[in-house]
Amino acid sequence: MNENNQEPLLEVVGLNTHFFLEEGVVKAVDGVNLTIRRGQTVGIVGESGCGKSVTARSILGIVPSPGKTVSGEVIFYDEETAPNGESKQPVNLLELDPKGKEIRRIRGKKISMIFQEPMTSLSPVHKIGSQIIETIILHQKLSKAQAREQAAEILGRVGLSQPFELLNRYPHELSGGMRQRVMIAMALSCHPSLLIADEPTTALDVTTEAQILRLMRSLQAELGMAIMYITHNLGVVAQMTDYVIVMYLGKVVEETDVDTLFFDPKHPYTKALLRSIPRLGASQGQPLEVIHGSVPDPYNKPSGCPFHPRCPERIEGVCNTQVPEVIEVKPGHRVRCHLYV
Ligand code: SF4
């Protein structure tokens, strides 16, 4: 999908989320800008600790303590019309009362999130049925019987057999793959405009992972929702996404459509990530490259470009002293690197 041919659904502008620890302040999200358009799947990629999950949590206002979103805007374009028939104004989610009615209406009904570990969202002491039914009733004007019907229907849709029987079971009675499907069903039960998926298949075996990815793709086509897909797995990015944002140490370092990312990457970090994945056609036994060095200490980020200690293309005297700005190398392809100035 071309990045400009759809209306924006969510715009993140100058987002900063910091963690205030005894050892110092960690700028986990450091001036992030990104746009998600209606129906688009945007991949957020990077190594552990690059800030991708904290960005997602900041959007929903669920950053765990001692983290705090200190500045920025998260503009959500709600497509619903106001009761008087006028179009609703875009709303800055960061300005809403974090425990108020409006953010709770948006969270769950408009924007849903699924996590790597289903037990993050499922209660171990309640039956599957009561959990999904409660979510449905919270956001839709339905009777309990209608909500039960809808809950069974959505469980069937995510590929679970005997959905009515499943409603009476507890999460611990299900396999990991089934729990993940239940969580997806719960997230989709209110037909959100945006689904945020944070490494939802990382803990699953490859067969179940492939099934869940196919399922999410087909449900997306059916329901027309946008997906923000967080992963460190570039194979999943290739399968799932239209547009990709690469993050390193809390900053967006490259963003472009998925084909350009794989065939014409610009940022040395993106190129290194791509060299570290297996490729079809590579000769057998050819070792994969590893990214030189490790992610630096987040309390003490390197000066200049934070990737410079690991970068094979660094320009001495420039990259270690000057912070690179974002450059648009072609429409819709932006990169934060001195090589393209
Ligand atoms: Fe490498 Fe310099 Fe580009 Fe950073 S700015 S990625 S160090 S070339």
Could you read off the pLDDT tens digit of each residue along the chain, which spans 341 residues?
444 457 899 999 999 999 999 888 999 999 999 999 999 999 999 988 889 999 999 999 999 999 999 999 999 997 764 555 555 678 999 999 888 888 888 887 899 998 877 777 788 899 999 999 988 888 788 899 999 999 999 898 888 899 999 999 999 999 888 898 898 888 888 888 999 999 888 777 888 788 888 888 888 888 889 999 999 889 889 989 999 999 999 999 999 999 999 999 999 999 999 988 766 555 555 555 667 777 788 788 899 999 999 999 999 999 999 999 999 999 999 999 999 98
DSSP assignment of 137-197? HHHS---HHHHHHHHHHHHHHTT-SSHHHHTTS-GGGS-HHHHHHHHHHHHHTT--SEEEE
Structure tokens at 291: 């990214």
192 lines ligand 1 (CB under 6 A): no
Q: DSSP secondary-structure letter at 201?
A: T
The answer to whether residues 305 and 319 touch, using CB atoms and an 8 Å cutoff, is yes
Question: d(Cα 123, Cα 128) in Å, to the nearest integer?
Answer: 9
Q: How far is CA 174 from CA 179, 182, 248, in A?
A: 6, 9, 36
* pTM: predicted TM-score of the whole model, two decimal places: 0.89
**Phi, psi at 283, each rounded to 5°:** -70, 145
338 lines ligand 1 (CB under 6 A): yes
339 lines ligand 1 (CB under 6 A): yes
Strand partners, 246: 45, 254
* Residue 340 neighbours by CB under 8 Å, 6+ apart: 266, 327, 329
**Which ligand 1 atom lies nearest to the CA of residue 268?**
6
Question: d(Cα 117, Cα 32) in Å, to the nearest integer?
Answer: 26
327 lines ligand 1 (CB under 6 A): no
Domains and CATH numbers, the chain: 8-110+192-278+288-340 (3.40.50.300)
The answer to whether residues 178 and 96 touch, using CB atoms and an 8 Å cutoff, is no
CA of 327 to the centre of ligand 1 (A): 13
CA of 32 to the centre of ligand 1 (A): 18
Question: d(Cα 267, Cα 261) in Å, to the nearest integer?
Answer: 10
